[in-house]
Amino acid sequence: MAANVTVGAFGFGAASQAALVVDAVNEVSSGSARYFDLNLLGDQTFSLGGDVFQFDGVDICKLRFAYIHGFSYQYPVVPRLSADTDWSLWQTKHVLDQQRYSAILSLVQELERHGVCVISGLRGLLGNFMKYEQLQRLRRQGFSVPPMICTNDRESTDKFCEQHEQLIWRPATGRAAWQHFGERQREHLLAPEKSPIIISAVIPGEYLRSYYLFGQDFLHLQHRGAGYYPMETLETFCEAEGLSAPDFDPVSVLELSRGFFSLSQVVSGPVRWIYDLDADPALTALPVKYRELLIRAFALCLSGRKSQLDSLVRPVSPQQRESLFLRRMLGVLFDMEASKHRPLPKE
């Protein structure tokens, strides 16, 4: 490995967010970063044994930073969905997927064992997988976390619903969105044979996305959903202003303070209620200027130039996220579907 390569970014495919981070690091410090594709396809080579750890002929244990993006902890390894796969027959592809997963997990563990600073490492991956335990651990550490339960039991859910007016739910593992929880969800999501879900109380307040870089709270974004009346508008993001001091110090408590993570919070007075912690935040869906700002800031930290973060130019006006057309088309489809069940007008 070239002596000046200190940063390795590992992702899936040439268009991965990890590849964008490599480009940004090399703009700051030419030739100091290299991208490694975790698809492990084609003519890629991977060798692990004893003190020898090479990826495409590169000794990656000599890296200073290793950024792992897009790899999700799984137990067991879940087969990839495909309409053309007959799972009643032996499938070699799934065995290969299991072997590929095992190799990547070993890569993460070995990098940490050799003293490389792994961002989105095993602890973060486990936290993203066991979402309820992650949130309860934050509660035990002194963070404000809304009342919630993880269950597939109808009786427990009914008791919880009696205590709270508004509820939302999400799957118990992985990255997912919180969604409205009502009678229809209670009827169809809860059963002994179904996976448990997380159900949480809704705390009224301002929704906030916060991004933290190597011990510094770098960016707090307020999110406004798309509007339809009196005029259609796009989703917008803007930097939050006038925030009161939080009731916690995130970087002094979180074990992820050496890396890059995000918090989803609801601000209610001086209290910031945490609904999610993402140890591997995805940035590609953000408005372009905020995405570029975060990637540039991350690159500065990886290049040892954290002191330059304050010099970065931040967007002044709200930034739109161009998703209105898809949302509008879905709205039209829902309206058409609902119209099928309306009674015909009387003549």
pLDDT at 342: 66
Whether 2 has a pLDDT exceeding 60, the answer reads no
Question: Greater confidence, 249 or 16?
Answer: 16
Sequence-ordered alpha helix ranges (H) in 80-219: 92-113, 122-129, 131-140, 154-163, 183-189
More confident of the two residues 250 and 84: 84
How much is the pLDDT for 347?
Answer: 63
Task: Using the predicted structure, report yes or no on whether residue 31 has a pLDDT greater than 60.
Answer: yes
Average pLDDT over residues 98-110: 89
Whole-number pLDDT of residue 174: 83
Q: How far apart, in whole angstroms, are the C-alpha atoms of residue 258 and residue 241?
A: 26
pLDDT category of residue 173 using cuts at 50, 70 and 90: confident
Q: Which residues belong to CATH 3.30.1490 in the chain?
A: 147-201
Q: Which of 18-22, 60-64, 327-331 has the highest mean pLDDT?
A: 18-22
Q: In b/e form, how buried is each residue of 200-212, taking b as 16+ CB within 10 angstroms?
A: bbbbeeeebbbbb
Is CATH 1.10.287 what the domain over 206-332 is classified as, yes or no? no
Among 199-213, 220-234, 287-301, which stretch is predicted with the lowest mean pLDDT? Answer: 220-234
- Interval 38-49 mean pLDDT: 82
The residue ranking higher by pLDDT, 289 or 121, is 289
**pLDDT greater at residue 346 or residue 320:** 320
Q: Where in the chain is the domain with CATH 3.30.470?
A: 206-332
- pLDDT, tens digit, 9 for 90 and up, residues 257-284: 668 889 899 988 888 999 999 989 999 8
**For residue 58, what pLDDT band results from cuts at 50, 70 and 90?**
confident
Q: What is the pLDDT of residue 133?
A: 92
- Whether residue 1 is predicted with pLDDT greater than 60 in this model: the reply is no
pLDDT at 253 (0 to 100)? 65
**CA-based angle 332:334:338, to the nearest 5?**
115
Is CATH 3.30.1490 what the domain over 147-201 is classified as, yes or no?
yes
